[in-house]
Amino acid sequence: MPVRVALIVGSLRKGSYSRAIGLAMKAIAAPGLEIEPVQIDDLPLYDPDLETDTPPPAWTRFRDEISATEAVLFVTPEYNRSIPGALKNALDVGSRPYGQSVWSGKPAAIVSVSPGALGGFGANHHLRQPLVFLHMPTMQQPEAYIGNVASLLDENGQLKKDDTRQFLNSFTDAFAAWIEKTKG
């Protein structure tokens, strides 16, 4: 039975490089992984006043989708040396109400991308900070900082370099092993 993995993409942009990389990883994932994108662009900003018996429907949908998975793959760009606000909001929505976090215990992996040379290093490491608090054992190696991402994709957002495909394949293999190790 394959492991259900939520794909959380930090970028909301229609032509998102992060989304293209995440979908490429879904297509070439290890056979034991079933990677499915989970929408975050419709989540109202987390506000405890909305945490009632009937929270916003998008929050309920999101929490249910994450709850139904066994692990999480984050693919994100870097905004101002950190993570995008929409991604931080998704973390907050999933972590509440207090004591009912949908994240707790789910193995995670992070891929950061950038059109520049640094590959989203700051976002990758900033994202690790809340994941520690959220009790998400996060894969340490291999690390994935994908710089100059636009040069790796064709006009349709498909991978055009075999070495990139091989790297992402080995990353998903390592993630599958990480999930098994942390769940076992």
- Give the pLDDT score at 105: 97
Averaged pLDDT for residues 40-65: 97
- Answer whether residue 184 shows pLDDT above 80: no
C-alpha–C-alpha distance, residues 105 and 97, integer Å = 16
Residue 48 banded pLDDT, cuts 50, 70, 90: very high
CA-wise closest residue to 87 among 137, 142, 127, 122:
127
- Answer whether residue 153 shows pLDDT above 90: yes
56: β partners: none
- Give the pLDDT score at 6: 98
- Give the pLDDT score at 183: 87
Close Cβ partners of 155 (under 8 Å, ≥ 6 residues apart): none
Average the pLDDT over each of 41-50, 67-76, 113-122, 125-134 and give the range with the smallest value.
Answer: 113-122
- Answer whether residue 112 shows pLDDT above 90: yes
C-alpha–C-alpha distance, residues 150 and 74, integer Å = 19
Averaged pLDDT for residues 114-119: 90
- What mean pLDDT, rounded, does the chain reach? 96
- Give the pLDDT score at 118: 85
What's the CATH fold of domain 3-183? Answer: Rossmann fold (3.40.50)
Query: What is the model's pTM?
Result: 0.97
Residue 119 banded pLDDT, cuts 50, 70, 90: confident
The dihedral region occupied by 177, where left means phi > 0, alpha psi between -120 and 50, and beta the remainder, is alpha
- Give the pLDDT score at 1: 86
- Answer whether residue 99 shows pLDDT above 90: yes
Averaged pLDDT for residues 76-85: 95
- Answer whether residue 133 shows pLDDT above 80: yes
Please state the domain extents for the chain. Answer: 3-183
Residue 23 banded pLDDT, cuts 50, 70, 90: very high
